[in-house]
Amino acid sequence: MNLERVVFGFFVILTLSLNAAFVAGGVETAAHHNVWILTFTIIVNLVAIGLKLGDRSQTGALLLASGLVAGLLLITARIVWIVADPEGGSGPGPGDMADIVSIAMGALVANVIATVILVGDTLLSRR
């Protein structure tokens, strides 16, 4: 067992889980989506990116790329939230909420890809 693999696997899978937790619910309903979960997802994702820096293997490069895509989309979603809800009151309107959730849905795809690569690589190397 390799400690680095445990730590990295933890952060990648946690990003996926948090991302899924955020997008679950009605697309236009602000009450179904928690801005704290979105923020946590961004932080965990950034940690996963940081752990992959310095890896020179092909799978490492692919994992870094998918992490960067997910990070970009999640941060975009967070910025849209800030712009759409300046007072921090009742949350964004239905139109803005649909934008935020669909962007986060895109990040979910990137996270699924990262997890599939991680699991596949581990299964193929079998050690």
Partner 1 sequence: MTPTSDLDRVAMIVLRYMRRPLFVLLFVYSVGIMGMALMPGKVVEGETTHMNLFHAFYFFTYTATTTGFGELPNGFSEEQRLWTIFCLYTGVIAWFYAIGSLIQLVQNPHFIQAMDGFRFARKVKSNAEPFVILCGFGDAGSLLARGLSDHRMRAVILDADPERIKALGVRDYTVPMPGLHADASAPKHLLAAGVEHPACRALVALTNDDDVNLKIAVMARHLNPRLRVICRSTSARHEANLRALDNVTVVDPFEIFAQLVSRAIARSELHNLNAWFVGTRGVELGAPVQVPRGNWILCGYGRMGRWIHHNLQAHGLDVCIIDPEVDANQVEEGTAIVRAHADHAALMTAGIDDAAGVIAATNRDADNLSTLLSVTELNPQAFRIVRQNSHENQVAFDAARADLVLQHSLTTARRILKLLISPLVQELIDWLAGREPAQTRALVARLKAAVGEEPPHLWSIRLVPSQAPAVIDYLEAGGSVALGPLCCDARAFPARLPCEALAVHRAGESIMLPDADFPLGVGDEILLCGTPWSESMLQATLHNPYTLRYVVTGVDEPRGYLFAWLDRRRRRRGAHS
Q: Decide: is 65 part of the binding site for partner 1 (CB under 8 A).
A: no
Smallest separation, CB 85 to partner 1 (Å): 35
Q: Which is nearer to partner 1, 43 or 82 (CB)?
A: 43
Q: Which is nearer to partner 1, 89 or 126 (CB)?
A: 126
Please tell me the distance from the alpha carbon of residue 103 to that of residue 77, in angstroms, as a whole number: 6
Q: Which is nearer to partner 1, 90 or 125 (CB)?
A: 125
Please tell me the distance from the alpha carbon of residue 92 to that of residue 88, in angstroms, as a whole number: 9
Instruction: Select the residue interacting with partner 1 from 36, 58, 89, 90 (CB under 8 A).
Output: 58
Q: Decide: is 96 part of the binding site for partner 1 (CB under 8 A).
A: no
Please list the alpha-helical segments (H only) found in 1-127. 3-23, 35-52, 58-84, 94-125
Nearest Cα neighbor of 83 from 68, 98, 100 is: 100
Residues with Cβ within 8 Å of 102's Cβ and at least 6 positions away in sequence, in order, are 27
Instruction: Select the residue interacting with partner 1 from 28, 55, 96, 99 (CB under 8 A).
Output: 55
Smallest separation, CB 119 to partner 1 (Å): 16
Contact 103, 80 (CB under 8 A): yes
Return residues touching partner 1 (CB under 8 A).
2-4, 7-8, 50-58, 60, 125-127
